[in-house]
Structure 1
Amino acid sequence: MSDSGRKKPPLVAERRYGSKPAGKSGGKTKGAAAGRKPAATKRVASKSTAKPAARKTPARKKTARRKPAKPSRNPIVRFFRAIFGWLFRLIWAFTWRITALAMIVVGLAVGYVYSTLPEVTALLDGRANGSVVMTDRTGEVFAWRGDQFGGVVTADSVSPHLKNAVVATEDKRFYRHFGISPRGVASAVRINLREGRGPLSGHGGSTITQQTAKLLCLGVVYDDTQWDSEAAYEADCRRGSLWRKGKEAIYALAMEVKYTKDEILSIYLNRAYMGGGAYGSEAAAQRYFGKPAAALSAAEGAMIAGLLTAPSTLAPTSNLTRSQNRAGVIIGLMEDQGYLSTKAAQEARDNPAKLSPAAQARAGGYFADWVMSSGPEFFTRNSTSDVVIRTTLDQRIQDAAEEAMNYIFSEKVREGSKAQAAIVVMSADGAVRAMVGGRKTKVTGAFNRAVQAKRQTGSAFKPFVYATALELGWSANDIVVDEPITINIPGSSPWSPQNYDRKFHGPVTLTEALRVSLNIPAVKIAQDAGLENVRKVASDFGIESDLAAGPSLALGASDTSLLEVTGAYAGILNGGSSVRPYGLVELKMQGDDEALMTSTGGIGERVISEDAARELTWMMHVVASEGTGRRANLPDWQVAGKTGTSQKAKDAWFIGFTADYVAGVWMGYDDNTPLTGVTGSGLPAEIWHETMRRVHEGLTPKPLPMLRGGSPARHVAPDPQRDRDTRNGIDDLLRGIFGGN
């Protein structure tokens, strides 16, 4: 029977979930079962085994649907909500777009910088100038100048203690960040603000990578045509503006992409300035401890790492205690970060790093400065290579001079006095063995009074007057009358010289006149010998300063340096030949065996005869043994010398020599204030004595090469009037001794 036209029954739960099992429902179930069965049921019945009908699931309770909250009916609230929503969407749209654009720009900038970075080996030595290492006469290093670079090191080749100390101090997250540390920057800004500074002033939060970028000056190489000076270039490299910080961050990111962490650390360890002229850890290790960077202990590594904060202030050669204290802080950081055990850290604190003997001595600062200034400029000051200079310095003699200076000023100079002094000790050939340019002996780059100060020599010039006379045929026993004289000087008022004691002593020998340093006889002899001759003899002996043209030349009215005068006295000791004081023996490039240049001084041409020099030496020996220079005498050694006091006692000198060494001492004030109660026969002679006493300790005494004046006494010049004056003077002297008329 067709069911077309019938309305199809609706799909009900029974058809969706199946019928209940027979026998468990009432008649309605049976009736429903007797009727139409679903097709699925028929197909199941045809099979040999049928699955039981699914259990009817109880109908779910209807729950009331929660209606959405109605928007506020307040139009003002709706308006502001709409405005804030629109602003948020606008800001978000701009933010992610700008962020994406900034990341693209930064990526392009990093890529460009990356393409310009050289190989790491080209960045390890970035000095603009070379270094100068100076050794003493025995070959021992005593001084460093210029930009020292001990050699290339790597993060793997240096001592692990140094590497760990640098990381612990400068950037403990170095191996974990990507070149910049937002956490470190935020911390630095917070500290700066808390301490009342600007956010970028003070602590910078820079990573080691950023510090290395700054050391590289962000890839800008020094060009003397672009910068007024190297100092201006370095100042620009250290600028801390916001724009500069941004460029630094990009450069650091590029370095992180280009190089490994250890390569970046290697650049840092080679280029960082570590005080005392040392660039890089190898130079610092050699400079302060006399050992390679690979052999540093924990205490030494901590001390070098501590220099990175303030290299000049914390340099152990400037203040060892302060440097040790800073190293103690770094040892604590190393312990906290696990680089040192508690036991190792305590051992490092108990045994702080100490300077090597050479660094501790800081010998010859004035001497080294003089060698640097007197040597060829293209090797000593403008060299881009490393130079080794062997010098004439004797560290034992240098120590003796420094000790003598310190002793006199601590024991015999009133407290608070600003008087200064200088000492030069040399051999007879002009080889300078020691130099002290001021009462502060351990300095570098200070005003060197032994070389740079030009002062009046006073009576210390008189030996050149007598040298001229002896060379022209006078004898040490010749007579000169000490009497009032007046000299007419063209273009000036008449001049009447006076003796120091304001007395006149009548007829005296040349030896006696020099012994008690009489002025009038010296002026007479200079005029009779010829002022031009005196000037020439002094100049030939090595006094290069301008010498006075008038008769006051004989009394040391000219300005000259202690080094020049001492060198001129060396010419008297060596038998009458000129001397050019020198300190440089040999100069060569580091690593080379062949010298580029050798000694720049020594004995020159003869000035006076050997007999004249020997006779003058005897006269000067009388000065030291019986005259104004008695305080300079040494036990068992013959000494020859001369005191000198300039006009108004502004300068006091003693220059003298033994058979082995010549030494000169000057004393005075830098501002030309007159000395109080000091003449050349006083403190300068005592400084000379204390210096040479120490210099000659352990040496075998030798006699001076001198010739006692034994020729018959005669007058200075065959002048009849002077002969009468001399006879009258002798008669007066005899009457003074024996009485009568």
Structure 2
Amino acid sequence: MSTNRTKRPALVADKRYSASKPAAKPRKRKARPKKVAPKGPLGWLKHIALFVLRLIWKLFWRSAVVVMLIVAIAVGYYTTTLPDASDLVDGRVRGSVTLLDREDKIFAWRGDQFGGMITANSVSEHLKHAVIATEDKRFYWHPGVDPRGIASAIKINIREGRKPWQGHGGSTLTQQTAKLLCLGVPFDPSSGMTEAEYEADCRRGTLSRKAQEAAYAMAMEVKYTKDEILTIYLNRAFLGAGARGFEAASQRYFGKSAAEVTPAESAMLAGLLVAPTRFAPTNNLDRSQNRAAVVISLMEDQGYLSASAANTARNNPAILSQAAQARAGGYFADWVMQSGPEFFTRDTTEDVIISTTLDQNMQRAAEEAMAYIFENKVKEGSEAQAAIIVMSADGAVRAMVGGRKSNVPGGWNRATQAMRQTGSAFKPFVYATAMELGYGPYDRVEDTPLVMDIPGSDPWKPENYDRQFRGVVTLTHALKDSLNIPAIRVSEAVGRENVAKVSSDFGIKSSLAEGPAIALGTSEATLIEMTGAYAGILNGGSSVTPYGLVQLRLKGDNEPLMDNAEGGIGERVISERAAADLIFMMNQVVENGTGRRAALDGRQVAGKTGTTTALRDAWFIGFSADYVAGVWMGYDDNTPLRGVTGGGLPAEIWHETMKRVHAGLPANPLPMSNPEPPRVVQTQQPSRRNNRNNNTERVLLDVLNEILGGGRN
């Protein structure tokens, strides 16, 4: 058997790649281009410039990242420290004082007035728009910082020749709120920093401070809504005249809530933000109205007011409320603030209500009287000053004018602060002493030449104002014609120490002269002291303490912390009979003597003129049955008055004041005696009143000769 064997082919694996696709060749590495050295100077410059730009770019974006991280950390930190928005609306360090007149009407504010919280939703829409149009028209669009505003501010600063960060800051309304909050750092009195220093520190405009304010503003944008930020701003902004927040300012200037203000009033309020004191309508209404017109134009440009509404607002500018316009009692308010306890007045941290004795009608009467005399009787350009006080017989001050500029809060108050020689206005206290010791209006005294030996000096030879002598005169005659020599003789007869005691008990607390010239008013006193002393004569001989504060209470409380309802009447100084005789004598000063220009038609009044050495001071102080008024006139630097005596312009100011004060009041009689002329002449030393015979004339010749020891020539 045969077998055919065929040779098999060797086993070979299939080809991995088809013939059409060749195997991949090893990938060659791309060679870097060779650096070519710059050719020529221009090439080198280009090379260096590109290098610098690349370096700057790397530094810039790396720095930007670092700054963004720092800002993010700062924003995050500030966000965690921010309280609720409602806790930030009242940022006052001091409290407020609201002063009410005798009819419980507001007439003055002191301290930081806060009218109560308002919100961006409760405030007038016009006011809201006015603030945004004036301060930050992109308020509702930026995140707390406005790059466009900053760039614009830098451009303006450079154009006006300042450094980029000086002048206009481009701050948003949120940044301004951050500044008002002082970056959340409250005032701490124990830090040793004053309130003014604290506020100055909060307003620092350094670059680092602005960076902090920017971060704080952005944190506020994270924490609060836009309306909450606006609410904080509306309540904290200072708007002049002690008003903190728009509610207080609206009440201060317009007597209404910030929810009720018109477009014109809103524009005036918003216009205060740029410079509260300068544009305060109580300082310069015209300037404030002009600023408001600018704000109205901004509101119109930004679509908040139609053209017709804007024209209406411009043509009918805002005006002050009656209380703000009158601004009566600026000097009076300052005096009351000084007379009250410091922790409830000048440095109060509470909101305080003070009821006072002020009568705004009388205040206006006094201011109008002074203005009338200076406009019609005083030479234009004169720098002479005057002061007026009107009070009741119990010392309740009803009006006070401390100078010709009657509405200057914090000004020099010549009615309460100026110590001036009283002159013959002091003589009633010489005769008050005599009346108390038993003399009568018709007792007589010599008006003859007098020489007195003064230890340590040359002999003193006093003279009357006109350098004339009248012989023997009654005490009434001596007072009505303001004779000097009889006043000295009476003072020496009754005792200088007694004269000093009576005047001091009546309220003249200033140091009194110790020599015989005390009778001529060489001592100094304030107008309020002198007027209060005359009030003691009117009320029948009891001393008074002039007062203006009636009641003090905290806002919202009904129970007073202080109460002075009983008035200022003190102890008796002279008897009612002595006071009645003295009032009769002082009535003759006005009826027939040096004070005739003070007379009021159909009304009994009494008073006394006063003129000092070299005409440096001129006084008239007097009273009706209802009110006492005192007037002083002179120069602050003691320049002599030209041709002015107490019986001249001061008496005329007094007349004009009291004529207005008494308008519409019944003509009540003075509480004075009515002594009959004497019938019997006696020459013995006068006895005390309890031994006195009524209607008896006595002559102070023998006793005075004995006391003065040959003083007559």
Q: Which string of whole-angstrom CA distances, capped at 9 and with x for unpartnered residues, describes residues 683-707 of structure 1? A: 0000001111111111111111100
Question: In the aligned structure 2, how far is the partner of 1:81 from the partner of 1:414?
Answer: 82
Instruction: Identify which of 118, 131, 143 aligns with 2:96.
Output: 131
**Structure 1 partner of 2:271:** 306
Q: Any conservation in 1 of the 2:493–2:704 contact (CA below 8 Å)?
A: no
Question: In the aligned structure 2, how far is the partner of 1:435 from the partner of 1:516?
Answer: 29
Q: 1:694 to 1:69 in 2, by over 3 A?
A: same
SS at match of 1:719: helix
Question: In the aligned structure 2, how far is the partner of 1:517 from the partner of 1:377?
Answer: 43
Question: In the aligned structure 2, how far is the partner of 1:228 from the partner of 1:470?
Answer: 59
Q: Any conservation in 1 of the 2:625–2:671 contact (CA below 8 Å)?
A: yes
SS at match of 1:423: strand
Task: Say whether residues 1:595 and 2:588 are aligned partners.
Answer: no
**Structure 2 partner of 1:613:** 579
Question: In the aligned structure 2, how far is the partner of 1:149 from the partner of 1:451?
Answer: 30
Instruction: Identify which of 525, 528, 538 aligns with 1:560.
Output: 525
- Counterpart of 2:634, as a letter, is G
**Structure 2 partner of 1:700:** 666
- List runs of 5+ in structure 2 lacking aligned partners: 1-8, 22-31, 677-694
Task: Say whether residues 1:397 and 2:362 are aligned partners.
Answer: yes
- Counterpart of 1:607, as a letter, is V
Cα drift, residue 442 of structure 1: 2.2
**Structure 2 partner of 1:528:** 493
Question: In the aligned structure 2, how far is the partner of 1:284 from the partner of 1:509?
Answer: 62
Cα drift, residue 725 of structure 1: 12
SS at match of 1:708: coil
Cα drift, residue 9 of structure 1: 10
Mean alpha-carbon deviation: is it higher for 162-171 or for 242-251?
A: 242-251
Question: In the aligned structure 2, how far is the partner of 1:724 from the partner of 1:235?
Answer: 68
Question: In the aligned structure 2, how far is the partner of 1:107 from the partner of 1:212?
Answer: 20
**Structure 2 partner of 1:53:** none
Question: In the aligned structure 2, how far is the partner of 1:333 from the partner of 1:669?
Answer: 48
- Counterpart of 1:681, as a letter, is G
Q: Which string of whole-angstrom CA distances, capped at 9 and with x for unpartnered residues, describes residues 329-385 of structure 1? A: 111111111111222222212221111111111111111111111111111111101
**Structure 1 partner of 2:282:** 317
Q: 1:708 to 1:559 in 2, by over 3 A?
A: same
* Structure of larger gyration radius: 1
Q: Which string of whole-angstrom CA distances, capped at 9 and with x for unpartnered residues, describes residues 119-158 of structure 1? A: 2122111111111111111111111111100111111111
Q: Which string of whole-angstrom CA distances, capped at 9 and with x for unpartnered residues, describes residues 243-274 of structure 1? A: 11111111111111111111111111111100
SS at match of 1:663: strand
**Structure 1 partner of 2:690:** none
Within 5 A, what are the aligned runs for 1:433-444? 433-444=398-409
Instruction: Identify which of 695, 698, 701 aligns with 1:714.
Output: 698
Instruction: Identify which of 629, 644, 667 aligns with 2:610.
Output: 644
Mean alpha-carbon deviation: is it higher for 216-225 or for 654-663?
A: 216-225
Q: 1:280 to 1:723 in 2, by over 3 A?
A: closer
Q: Which string of whole-angstrom CA distances, capped at 9 and with x for unpartnered residues, describes residues 18-46 of structure 1? A: xxxxxxxxxxxxxxxxxxxxxxxxxxxxx
Instruction: Identify which of 618, 630, 654 aligns with 1:688.
Output: 654
SS at match of 1:95: helix
Q: 1:82 to 1:204 in 2, by over 3 A?
A: closer
Question: In the aligned structure 2, how far is the partner of 1:135 from the partner of 1:469?
Answer: 42
Task: Say whether residues 1:547 and 2:531 are aligned partners.
Answer: no
Instruction: Identify which of 385, 391, 407 aligns with 2:350.
Output: 385
Cα drift, residue 717 of structure 1: 6.7
Q: Any conservation in 1 of the 2:119–2:231 contact (CA below 8 Å)?
A: yes
- Counterpart of 1:699, as a letter, is L
Q: Which string of whole-angstrom CA distances, capped at 9 and with x for unpartnered residues, describes residues 172-205 of structure 1? A: 0001001111110110111111111221222111
Cα drift, residue 483 of structure 1: 1.5
SS at match of 1:502: coil
**Structure 1 partner of 2:233:** 268
Q: Which string of whole-angstrom CA distances, capped at 9 and with x for unpartnered residues, describes residues 540-560 of structure 1? A: 111111111111111001110
Q: Any conservation in 2 of the 1:454–1:560 contact (CA below 8 Å)?
A: yes
- Cα root mean square deviation, aligned: 2.5
Q: Any conservation in 2 of the 1:227–1:233 contact (CA below 8 Å)?
A: no
Question: In the aligned structure 1, how far is the partner of 2:330 from the partner of 2:316?
Answer: 29
Q: Which string of whole-angstrom CA distances, capped at 9 and with x for unpartnered residues, describes residues 601-633 of structure 1? A: 511111000000000000000000000000000
Instruction: Identify which of 123, 130, 142 aligns with 2:107.
Output: 142
**Structure 2 partner of 1:733:** none
Instruction: Identify which of 476, 479, 498 aligns with 1:514.
Output: 479
**Structure 1 partner of 2:182:** 217
**Structure 1 partner of 2:256:** 291
Question: In the aligned structure 2, how far is the partner of 1:9 from the partner of 1:294?
Answer: 92
Question: In the aligned structure 1, how far is the partner of 2:494 from the partner of 2:123?
Answer: 70
Question: In the aligned structure 2, how far is the partner of 1:724 from the partner of 1:78?
Answer: 118
Q: 1:359 to 1:721 in 2, by over 3 A?
A: closer
**Structure 2 partner of 1:33:** none
Cα drift, residue 72 of structure 1: 7.5
Instruction: Identify which of 526, 542, 550 aligns with 1:577.
Output: 542
SS at match of 1:292: coil
Within 5 A, what are the aligned runs for 1:15-164? 75-76=39-40, 82-164=47-129
TM score, norm. by length of structure 1 = 0.87
Q: 1:709 to 1:718 in 2, by over 3 A?
A: farther
- List runs of 5+ in structure 1 lacking aligned partners: 13-67, 730-741
Cα drift, residue 220 of structure 1: 1.8
**Structure 1 partner of 2:371:** 406
SS at match of 1:625: helix
Question: In the aligned structure 2, how far is the partner of 1:84 from the partner of 1:722?
Answer: 115
**Structure 2 partner of 1:246:** 211
Q: Any conservation in 2 of the 1:427–1:662 contact (CA below 8 Å)?
A: yes
Question: In the aligned structure 1, how far is the partner of 2:157 from the partner of 2:708?
Answer: 92
Q: Any conservation in 1 of the 2:38–2:47 contact (CA below 8 Å)?
A: no
Q: 1:154 to 1:718 in 2, by over 3 A?
A: same
**Structure 1 partner of 2:680:** none
Question: In the aligned structure 2, how far is the partner of 1:417 from the partner of 1:267?
Answer: 49
Q: Which string of whole-angstrom CA distances, capped at 9 and with x for unpartnered residues, describes residues 441-477 of structure 1? A: 2221111100110000000000000000000001111
Q: Any conservation in 2 of the 1:617–1:705 contact (CA below 8 Å)?
A: yes
Question: In the aligned structure 2, how far is the partner of 1:661 from the partner of 1:236?
Answer: 51
**Structure 1 partner of 2:200:** 235
Cα drift, residue 293 of structure 1: 0.8
Q: Any conservation in 2 of the 1:72–1:78 contact (CA below 8 Å)?
A: no
SS at match of 1:144: strand
Instruction: Identify which of 369, 373, 392 aligns with 2:334.
Output: 369
Q: Any conservation in 1 of the 2:493–2:707 contact (CA below 8 Å)?
A: no
Question: In the aligned structure 1, how far is the partner of 2:442 from the partner of 2:18?
Answer: 163
- Counterpart of 1:674, as a letter, is P
**Structure 2 partner of 1:679:** 645
Q: Which string of whole-angstrom CA distances, capped at 9 and with x for unpartnered residues, describes residues 50-76 of structure 1? A: xxxxxxxxxxxxxxxxxx999988634
Q: Any conservation in 1 of the 2:506–2:543 contact (CA below 8 Å)?
A: yes
- Counterpart of 1:619, as a letter, is M
Cα drift, residue 232 of structure 1: 1.2
Q: Any conservation in 2 of the 1:666–1:684 contact (CA below 8 Å)?
A: yes
**Structure 2 partner of 1:65:** none
Q: Which string of whole-angstrom CA distances, capped at 9 and with x for unpartnered residues, describes residues 522-554 of structure 1? A: 011111111111111001111111111111111
**Structure 1 partner of 2:686:** none
Cα drift, residue 313 of structure 1: 0.5
Cα drift, residue 319 of structure 1: 1.0
**Structure 2 partner of 1:45:** none
- Counterpart of 1:642, as a letter, is K
